[in-house]
């Protein structure tokens, strides 16, 4: 079995770089892993079944590593180094880097779901609407200043400029039509810089749709705060719609940009299916 290490130098604030993880890995007993450039597309053919591909970066980097692992039947080990690191939260990785590296050395793993849309995968979330703006416009300087809350800052900065868009959402046995500010299709409990969906899990075989309706800024802020503090929306809220199923679709009147795990993934219509426990990951 070979340990491979990829480090995204543009992830997060740059503090958790390759040298940072090599130090902690060596202290945990994982010495001299095969280091490769994340921009080099020649080396993945060298990965063998059962190898461990360690990816130091954010959710986009984890997505890249997941594609390699699924194609080569390898095991993904995420070393959280990005801005949001929602996938690391979804699979319950320890925050302490030393503890995480010891987990890698022991090879403790589990299988998690992968969401698929138009021939590509995502581990965390696909967005339509306002939720795509952080990926499209939030700069590195803002990410360094605000960390994972840069996503919330960017959204709040734009609320007054958005009246929403019309779309039909189908998920499981549910179907809704209306005007929306943002539609998120999540593959787990955490997305968008820490938003949590109670009772969702990364290995339950379902995707979760959270759709936000255009509302006054004060009402949106109240919902946002209540979700963060109490893990639930205010009672009788008319702001959020929550659907759950193994498949979902989003149809818009005009093509809208879709992002998946922080990267632009095309335009609507969006069709998503859940691949049950298709990825093996290092995790408790």
147 and 235, same domain (yes or no):
yes
102 and 142, same domain (yes or no):
no
Number of domains present in the structure of the chain: 2
125 and 94, same domain (yes or no):
no
88 and 217, same domain (yes or no):
no
Last residue of a domain, one of 79, 107, 135: 107
How far apart are alpha carbons 218 and 33 in whole angstroms? Answer: 50
Residue 114 inside a domain? The answer is no
pTM > 0.95: yes or no: no
Domain encompassing residue 8: 3-107
Select from 159, 148, 149 the least CA-distant residue to 219. 159
CATH classification of the domain holding 144: 2.60.200.40
164 and 271, same domain (yes or no):
yes
Q: Within the chain, which residues score under 50 in pLDDT? A: 138-151, 153, 160-161, 233-236
Residue 44 inside a domain? The answer is yes
What pLDDT is stored for residue 8 in this prediction?
A: 81
206 and 231, same domain (yes or no):
yes
242 and 166, same domain (yes or no):
yes
How far apart are alpha carbons 59 and 57 in whole angstroms? Answer: 7
What pLDDT is stored for residue 58 in this prediction?
A: 86
102 and 205, same domain (yes or no):
no
| C-beta neighbour count of 231 within 10 angstroms | 12
264 and 124, same domain (yes or no):
yes
- Per residue in 191-245, pLDDT (tens digit) is 876 678 878 899 999 999 999 888 777 766 776 666 666 655 444 457 888 999 9
CATH classification of the domain holding 69: 3.40.50.10330
Residue 159 inside a domain? The answer is yes
What pLDDT is stored for residue 146 in this prediction?
A: 38
127 and 244, same domain (yes or no):
yes
Identify the helix (H) or strand (E) that includes residue 179. Answer: strand 174-180
82 and 178, same domain (yes or no):
no
Q: What are phi and psi of 258, to 5 degrees?
A: -115, 130
Residue 112 inside a domain? The answer is no
List the structure tokens of 219. Answer: 């009402």
Residue 115 inside a domain? The answer is no
What pLDDT is stored for residue 97 in this prediction?
A: 96
What pLDDT is stored for residue 234 in this prediction?
A: 47
């Amino acid at each position: 079995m070979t340990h491979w290490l990829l480090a995204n130098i543009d992830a997060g604030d740059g503090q958790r770089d390759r040298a940072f993880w090599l130090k902690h890995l060596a202290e945990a007993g994982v010495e001299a892993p095969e280091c490769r450039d994340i921009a080099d597309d020649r080396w993945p053919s060298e990965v063998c079944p059962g190898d461990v591909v360690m990816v130091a970066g954010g959710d986009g980097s984890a997505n890249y590593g997941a594609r390699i692992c699924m194609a080569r039947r390898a095991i993904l080990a995420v070393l959280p180094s990005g801005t949001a690191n929602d996938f690391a939260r979804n699979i319950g990785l320890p925050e302490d880097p030393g503890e995480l590296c010891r987990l890698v050395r022991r090879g403790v793993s589990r299988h998690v779901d992968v969401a698929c849309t138009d021939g590509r995968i995502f581990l965390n979330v696909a967005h339509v609407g306002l939720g795509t703006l952080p990926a499209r416009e939030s700069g590195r300087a803002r990410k360094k200043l605000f960390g994972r809350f840069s996503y919330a800052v960017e959204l709040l900065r734009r609320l007054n400029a958005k009246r929403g868009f019309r779309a039909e959402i189908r998920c499981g046995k549910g179907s809704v039509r209306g005007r929306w500010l943002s539609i998120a299709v999540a593959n787990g409990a955490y997305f968008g810089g820490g938003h949590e969906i109670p009772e969702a899990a990364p290995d339950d075989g379902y995707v979760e749709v959270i759709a936000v309706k255009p509302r006054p800024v004060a009402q949106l802020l109240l919902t946002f705060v209540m979700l963060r503090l109490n893990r639930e929306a205010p009672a009788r809220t008319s702001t959020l719609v929550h659907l759950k199923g193994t498949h979902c679709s989003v149809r818009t009147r005009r093509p809208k940009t879709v992002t998946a795990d922080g990267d632009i993934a095309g335009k609507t219509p969006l069709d998503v299916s859940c691949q049950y426990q298709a990825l093996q990951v290092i995790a408790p």
